[in-house]
Amino acid sequence: MTSLDYRTPVLVGVGQASERIDDAGYRGLSPVELATAAARDALADTGADPVSLAEAIDTVAGIRQFEISTPISHSPLGRSDNFPRSVAKRLGATPARAILEITGGQSPQHLVTELAGTIADGGAEVALAFGSEAISTARHLAKAEDKPDWTEHVEGDLEDRGFGLRGLANRQMLAHGLVEPISQYALFDNARRARLGLTRDEYAREMGRVFAPFTKVAAANPHAAAPVERDARELVTPSDRNRPIVDPYPRFLIAREQVNQGAAVLLMSVARARELGIPEERQVFLHGHSDLREQPLLDREDLSSSPAAVLAVRHALEVAGIGVDDLATFDLYSCFPIAVLTVCEGLGLPVDDPRGLTVTGGLPFFGGPGNNYSMHAIAETVVRMRDRPGTFGLVGANGGTLSKYSAGVYSTTPAPWRTSRDAELQAGLDARPTVPTVVHPDGWATIETYTVQHASGTGVVVGRLDDGSRFLASTQDEEMLARLGEGEPIGGKVYVRSFGHGNRVTTTAERMDELFPRRPPGFRDTYEHIEVRRDGHLLEVTINRPESRNSLHPPANAELDEVFDAYFADPDLWVAILTGAGDKAFSAGNDLVYSASGKPVWVPKNGFAGLTSRESLPKPVIAAVNGFALGGGCEIALACHLVVADETAQFGLPEVRVGLVAAAGGLVRLPRAVPPKVAGDVILTGRRLGAAEAESYGLVSRVAPAGQAMTVAREMAAAILDGSPTSVRTSLRMMAEADGIADTVEAARNPSPALDDLLVSQDAFEGPAAFAQKRKPVWRNR
């Protein structure tokens, strides 16, 4: 055997552990304890001495539990701060390397592939991968008086790879309730049903038909969380136990996450296996593998399929040198029907293939232990390969929203390590065309796919405007929900309108106006969070939240947006001043206390204070900064035409210090308002600029004595009011037009329609006439 042969990776041991809270021997094991139990079984499964094996482990790799899979996850009973080493410590292992893998159901197969490659390259000799969930126990004991404390600190290095959530969600998805995977997958299944031209009942029967055989496998699996055989009709028929969750899924068709399960796989080089006395009949080889990634959900051309998943399976078979017909077993990831159906469709594999599509019973019936399900699939596949030497088994592991797919082909037949063409294939997947998306859609549109979340009575729609751009919208309108709940909504016309709190969709434009009456610009008599004062042609607006340093939350932002709509629409108002109540702060930006409360957080379409994203500010707005202008407060000031600063004022963008960024224009406007190096200093370090320094860079128009910002702002407004309002507006417009032209001469020559409009205005005649007559002009503002 050559040196290369000695480094060939091989799976030598697998183990599983589980318990149900109604079991007679239920112990309430923690995730660490479940993973340890599975790992001990994996060591024993090799047929060699477990103590020697544990001492030989040089690498441990753990799969993330759900409670550490996102930034907002919670560990109700505490957790280990080094999950891989907690398990290793209990085994008596002292590995040189410990890995905590990224989030996603692809993780187990990805880790096995990676570790096998590392062994083949000589970077490791003995590696143990494992994962577990104790979600059922955690929920069962969370409120118990004598609840356990699973908190644990373990010394040692940890290669924490982070959450790996990039591309799996965006602000649009969050704003429209498209957060949970169940709703996202429902979009895919409904899109596939429409593409195939099936009715709701026909597609339900197909979903039931694909999952009914899974229940039979689960019923015979001692580790299954729901070992009950059910027929296709029962799986899709709503009942008290099988309530509708989201359209088209009742409860029986979705992954069961409330489980207590763990699984582990032990890999090593062939040479090390021989040294440790592991019998050849226990050894299973990874013949083929592939790891590919799909485009972000809203970018995909076709929401009814997953080319990346199909390609990953095909390529794994190609690397193994076999075809679909050569496989003896399958385990296709089955969190929802579409995850199985899209792979079957892509491979030409019948859903009732006599070989079966699962070796565990699938996520809805065996259980979906967080990110670790496919570790159980690998363990079951290894057992079956040993029982049927020389045959091949496929494991397909899916992560995200049909986002990340890892496939592996296993057999007892010895095979050298083979590399894949994943990088080449991924480049091709990444180069595919994408669908343009629009954040603020308005007008008639066509439904591309949809779902209805039954608990909240909310419909979520993916639609296309007439130009082909894609958008997200939601609805709680009874008429629209009725449309989504019967017949074939996909392909039908709907009406969409965008708001600061999100996009809403209705059956007609008339229905939209009925539900969301258009508000003509105008002022109220009173406001809750701001004060408004008119003085001739001058408007003064005061943010009146001094108890929170005039920080802004959605209600305050909405009032400011409404007021500035009214200001820009009112021909008798020519200048506006914006300031903050008290002498401490102009505005401290976003109200972080409100944001942390869990209440919906949104900003008007026109941006922070109704100004930072407004398409244009056609009339002058002066910021009277009387204290702190931080974060969003600084961004508001940057959006205003003129800034008067109290000599005690301070400007800053401290977002990086709280894990955010100045996304309301600060990252764009500040580098254009001050020298780039200064802007970088302020943005990246959170450094504040005093009034004098801000004035020296041109960020501030004028500095006022302490307590006199409004006085100076009013003087500035009076000077503007002495001029022609038509000329002022024309000047603002022409400056804005020239802003996008780099060449100065070209910008100066720019033929502006605004100038043509000014030349035929009454003010253009009144100004020279008043000058000639030595009198004060009487501006007509037209």
3-state secondary structure at position 244: strand
**Residue 413 CB neighbour total at 10 angstroms:** 14
Residue type, 296: P
Going by C-alpha positions, the residue among 496, 372, 437 that lies closest to residue 170 is 437
Contact assessment for residue 389 and residue 412, using Cβ atoms and an 8 Å cutoff: yes
Most distant pair of Cα atoms in the chain: their distance: 111
580's tokens: 């903050």
Q: What is the DSSP secondary-structure string of 718-758?
A: HHHHHS-HHHHHHHHHHHHHHHT--SHHHHHH---HHHHHH
Closest CA to 701 of 630, 619, 620: 620
d(CA 174, CA 447): 20
Enumerate residues 6+ apart whose C-beta is below 8 A from 285: 8, 9, 10, 11, 410, 411, 412, 413, 414, 415
The three state secondary structure string of 281-309 is HHCEEEEEEEEEECCCHHHCCCCCCCHHH
Give the orientation angle of helix 676-685 with respect to helix 666-673, to 10 degrees.
140
For strands 392-399 and 621-625, give the pairing.
unpaired
Give the span between the Cα atoms of 261 and 131, in whole angstroms.
Answer: 9
Q: How far is it, in rounded angstroms, from Cα 458 to Cα 20?
A: 34
530 bridge partner residues: 543
For residue 505, what are the β-bridge partners? Answer: 496
Q: Are 763 and 574 in contact (CB under 8 A)?
A: no
Query: CA 636, CA 192: separation in Å to the nearest integer?
Result: 46
DSSP β-bridge partners for residue 126: 268
> 458 φ, ψ to 5°?
-115, 130
Q: d(Cα 618, Cα 657) in Å, to the nearest integer?
A: 34
Work out the angle between the directed axes of helices 632-639 and 666-673 (0-180°, nearest 10).
Answer: 60
655, 693, 737, 746: the catalytic one is 655
Residue 187 to residues 336, 402, 449, 760, Cα–Cα distance (Å): 11, 12, 6, 56
Is the preceding peptide bond at 248 cis, omega within 30 degrees of 0?
yes
- Examine the residue annotation and report whether 655 is marked as an active-site residue of this protein: yes
From the list 67, 133, 562, 635, the catalytic residue is 635
The amino acid that residue 213 corresponds to is P
Q: Which residues are catalytic?
A: 635, 655
